[in-house]
Amino acid sequence: MSSPTTSKPTTSENPFVALLRRAGLLDWFLLGLMGTVALAYLVPDVGSKASPIPWKLLTTTGVALIFFFYGLRLNLEKLKAGLRNWKLHTVVQLTTFVVFPLLALAVRPFFGNEKADLLWQSIFFLCTLPSTVSTSVVMVGIAGGNLPAAIFNASISSLIGIFLTPIWTSLILHTGTGNGQLWGLALDLTWQVVLPVVVGVLLNPRFGSFAEQHKQTLRTFDQIVILLIVFTSFCESFAEGVFRSYIPTDVLLLGLGMVALYFVIFALVWGLSALLGFTREDRIVALFCGSKKSLVHGSVMASLLFPATAATGALLLPLMLYHALQIILASVMAQRMGQKTTI
């Protein structure tokens, strides 16, 4: 007696939805980023400085915990091996502090009138900033890159930026540096990044296996902290009316320019990494650490370097757009790269 024919289960998923899913565009983190920006627009006071919720304490503690858990997953031998890769570190830091500013200087002739010159100054300020700290390392982790090298480059970039960003802006934009207050930024970086990593590394022999077993949970925690940072940053921007002086066309063109900047840097770093024969893990570090710019450091430094400038908000607009775009674009790329890595 013949058995009845079993039909293959059919999938009813829309082809367009399936394409978005394969591209990583239906990832909960990416959707959460867009939803976070929309929520910040609707209720900016909730995440601004005027809010009774201690957002700064929550986000700074979250960043410290991110780096503590990363340190917990590192042992000293792996860390030493990561620090010895001087070619990788040179590529990342030169991209961050030399290639970015030179690209901004190269396009200066296209910004002729006074309003355009102010826009160029804000773009140049963006290009002098250090790389992000938590976001860079998180993206490298998601993509399956070299975490010790990522932590080193993200941390050292912020330290170098405390000195090089004021130097660049004073040379080109003729600003003051506010050195005394910048040392406070260095101290904040020390206790938020350096100390947690050191403590985590020291505890690695005892708790490292536990952290490795729960790395997926820790990854989710990383993403939640980034969502909090994005929410509070955009709330503050919307609450202070950063975008009010620009018409939609201006913002659109500027956004396209920031996308172009991101992909130009990405292409340059990708080509140079291939030329130098970097491994896949090191190339991921170069791509994600070398292409980022820090909104947190940019916001602080803008208030220090341009204390008497009425257009400080306008100076932050390219940085806000680049910050949002780099997270969205990098998260898609990191998720795609991470799918190729065995978890």
Q: What is the pLDDT of residues 51-110, one digit of tens each?
A: 888 888 888 888 788 878 877 877 777 666 666 788 999 999 999 999 999 999 999 988
CB atoms < 10 A from the CB of 231, how many?
23
Query: Tokens at residue 135, please?
Result: 């976001």
Contacts of 1 (CB under 8 A, 6+ apart): none
Only one residue has tokens 């990593």, namely 197
Q: What is the pLDDT of residue 217?
A: 84
Q: What is the pLDDT of residue 283?
A: 93
- How far apart are alpha carbons 333 and 343 in whole angstroms? 17
Q: What share of the chain is helix, strand, coil (3-state, %, to 5)?
A: 75, 0, 25
- How far apart are alpha carbons 212 and 71 in whole angstroms? 11
Burial-class residue 141 by CB neighbours within 10 Å (0-12, 13-18, 19+): buried
- How far apart are alpha carbons 11 and 201 in whole angstroms? 47
- Under a CB-based contact definition with an 8 Å cutoff, are residues 251 and 56 in contact? no
- Of 37, 94, 106, the closest CA to residue 289 belongs to 94
- Under a CB-based contact definition with an 8 Å cutoff, are residues 137 and 147 in contact? yes
Give the residue, 20 or 37, on which the prediction is more confident.
Answer: 37
Q: What is the domain class of 39-338 according to CATH? A: mainly alpha
**Is residue 11 predicted with pLDDT exceeding 60?**
no
Give the residue, 155 or 99, on which the prediction is more confident.
Answer: 99
**Is residue 24 predicted with pLDDT exceeding 50?**
no
Does the model's pTM come out above 0.85? no
Tell me the H-state helices in 95-214.
100-106, 114-128, 134-143, 147-172, 179-189, 195-213
Q: What is the average per-residue pLDDT within 293-315?
A: 66
- How far apart are alpha carbons 62 and 57 in whole angstroms? 8
- What is the distance, to the nearest Å, from the Cα of residue 294 to the centroid of all Cα atoms in its chain? 6
307 — pLDDT class (breaks 50, 70, 90): low
Q: What is the average per-residue pLDDT within 291-306?
A: 75
What amino acid is encoded at 211 in this protein? A
Q: What is the average per-residue pLDDT within 196-219?
A: 83
- How far apart are alpha carbons 214 and 222 in whole angstroms? 13
**Is residue 7 predicted with pLDDT exceeding 80?**
no
Q: What is the pLDDT of residue 186?
A: 62
